[in-house]
Amino acid sequence: MKDLKDLINKNEDAIILIQTWKKSARNKVQILERDSLKSKEALFNIQISTRSPMGAIVFHTGGILINDGWIRIYGSGNNKLDRNLPNWNKGKTFENFGEKPGHLIIADDAIGGFFLLNGGDLGSDLGKVYYFAPDSLETEPLDFTYSDFINFCFNGNVDGFYKDLRWKNWEKDFKDLSTNEAFIFYPYLWTKEGRDINFVQKSKVSIEEVYKLKVSKMNPSY
């Protein structure tokens, strides 16, 4: 594994690009404060240079919240976002730090969706982002690179992306949701009985519980 000093690129640090994007963002963007020690540990564990937007977000931020936390992009962790990129993926997409995973979970959302960066096991389009949607047990290709995904979160039509996954008066329910939680729906949205999101039961649970549910439904032996 590379030393921390080799991962911190002071001359071409992508945090400058991220900050520039934030200034002109159309959507509401909140960059969470980092803890210096935790950010160093997270960058070392994920082994990605700060020359890349992903490395810069891990090292310089506790994470990024889009539209009051509807989308949560992983950084090095914060009270408002209690999962960081390497630790959240450990035991899910890889077993030991330093391994090259088949994909990385890079963000999640308020309705239990997960954004995945393809490392090879999702398709031939390496480096592209997929969406593990709450109304499906399949991953959907978005044709975004990581940088494209960040730009979409900052400037894209997020409301349009989620138009079929919001319900009447969703804003009221969302207001009381922690960014360490997500909604879970029953009947499940991927079932025939759960196809209309307006007529299903909605509960708030930890994002870890949502992930375990989705994986267990895909793999009953989980």
Query: Do residues 78 and 91 lie in contact, with contact meaning Cβ atoms separated by under 8 Å?
Result: no
Domains of the chain and any CATH numbers: 4-158 (3.40.1580)
- Apex CA 93: angle with CA 113 and CA 156, to 5°? 35
User: How far is the C-alpha of 101 from the C-alpha of 161, rounded, in Å?
Assistant: 27
User: How far is the C-alpha of 174 from the C-alpha of 111, rounded, in Å?
Assistant: 9
Which tokens sit at 156? Answer: 């894209």
Q: Checking DSSP bridges between strand 103-109 and strand 71-74, what pairing results, if any?
A: antiparallel
Task: Please tell me the predicted confidence (pLDDT) of residue 214.
Answer: 87
- Residue range 172-221, pLDDT digits in tens: 999 999 999 999 999 999 999 999 999 999 999 999 999 999 888 765 44
In order, the DSSP letters of 186-221 are ES-TTSGGGS-GGGSEEEEEEHHHHHHHHHHHH-TT
Task: Please tell me the predicted confidence (pLDDT) of residue 218.
Answer: 67
Which tokens sit at 140? Answer: 């959907």
Q: How many CB atoms lie within 10 A of CB 177?
A: 17
Each residue's pLDDT, cut to its tens digit, for the chain (222 residues) gives 999 999 999 999 999 999 999 999 999 999 999 999 999 999 999 999 999 999 999 999 999 999 999 999 999 999 999 999 999 999 999 999 999 999 999 999 999 999 999 999 999 999 999 999 999 989 999 999 999 999 999 999 999 999 999 999 999 999 999 999 999 999 999 999 999 999 999 999 999 999 999 888 765 443
DSSP 8-state secondary structure symbol assigned to residue 81? B
Task: Give me the amino acid identity at 126.
Answer: L
User: How far is the C-alpha of 32 from the C-alpha of 29, rounded, in Å?
Assistant: 10
Identify which of 83, 5, 75 has the alpha carbon closest to the alpha carbon of residue 33: 75
